[in-house]
């Protein structure tokens, strides 16, 4: 890093208007880009296609709380923080098998207890697929995201050591 000096503050340089025009004339932001990349870079939404952690609905913690379940918003926020701390702590089933945080999230997605067995896993999976699949609920596709989460959770858990 270059320290501040007579020609500007640190890594910046001060130019007169003539030299700025000369510099800008030789600068091409789009150099090396394809036509599609140039079009995307010129879009007013360029750079906004992905959420930053601070602006995501979960704020990088977990899923948003179900506000209707709480009388006080602070209670919802507190429960969310407790769940976040709980999910980061190592867990063990009664038989001593370790459960990873990913497996724990998958169990929560399926609504199963930490000590659920393979039969309970399969039963709950079947129940949720019947509930959320568009072919089983009159073609309603509004639950596709939830169905995908259920399938991913089941795929993770069926291969887990706890359910082997």
Cα 46 to chain centroid, rounded: 20
| Pair 113, 126 in one domain | yes
Print the domain residue range for 85: 51-89
Indicate whether 14 belongs to any domain. Answer: no
Domain count, the chain: 2
**Average of per-residue pLDDT values in the chain:** 80
In terms of DSSP H, where are the helices of the chain?
Answer: 17-25, 35-42, 73-88, 101-110, 118-132, 144-158
Tell me, yes or no, whether 32 lies in a domain: no
With cut-offs at 50, 70 and 90, classify the pLDDT of residue 86: low
Report d(CA 154, CA 118) in Å as an integer.
Answer: 11
Q: Is residue 18 part of a domain?
A: no
Q: Verify that 153 and 125 share a domain, yes or no.
A: yes
Rounded Cα distance between 20 and 4, Å, is: 20
Per-residue pLDDT reduced to its tens digit, 24-63: 888 888 889 999 988 888 887 777 766 665 555 555 555 6
Distances (CA, A) of 89 to 78, 136, 143: 17, 37, 30
pLDDT of residue 29: 85
**Average pLDDT for 94-119:** 87
Same domain, 65 and 106: no
Q: Give the model's pLDDT for residue 34.
A: 93
Q: Between vectors from CA 39 to CA 33 and to CA 44, what angle results, nearest 5°?
A: 125
Residues 115 and 156 in one domain: yes
């Amino acid at each position: 890093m270059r320290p501040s000096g007579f020609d500007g503050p640190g890594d910046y340089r001060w130019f007169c208007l003539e030299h700025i025009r000369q510099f800008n004339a030789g600068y091409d932001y789009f150099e090396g880009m394809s036509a599609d990349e140039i079009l995307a870079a010129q879009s007013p939404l360029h750079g906004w296609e992905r959420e930053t952690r601070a602006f995501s609905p979960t704020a990088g913690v977990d899923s948003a709380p179900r506000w209707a379940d709480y009388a006080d918003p602070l209670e919802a926020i507190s429960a969310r923080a407790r769940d976040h701390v709980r999910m980061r702590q190592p867990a063990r089933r009664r038989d001593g098998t370790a459960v990873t945080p990913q497996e724990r999230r998958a169990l929560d997605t399926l609504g199963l207890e930490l000590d659920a067995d393979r039969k309970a896993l399969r039963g709950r999976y079947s129940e949720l697929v019947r509930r959320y699949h568009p072919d089983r609920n009159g073609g309603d596709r509004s639950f596709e995201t939830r169905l995908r989460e259920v399938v991913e959770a089941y795929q993770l858990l069926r291969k887990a050591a706890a359910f082997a």
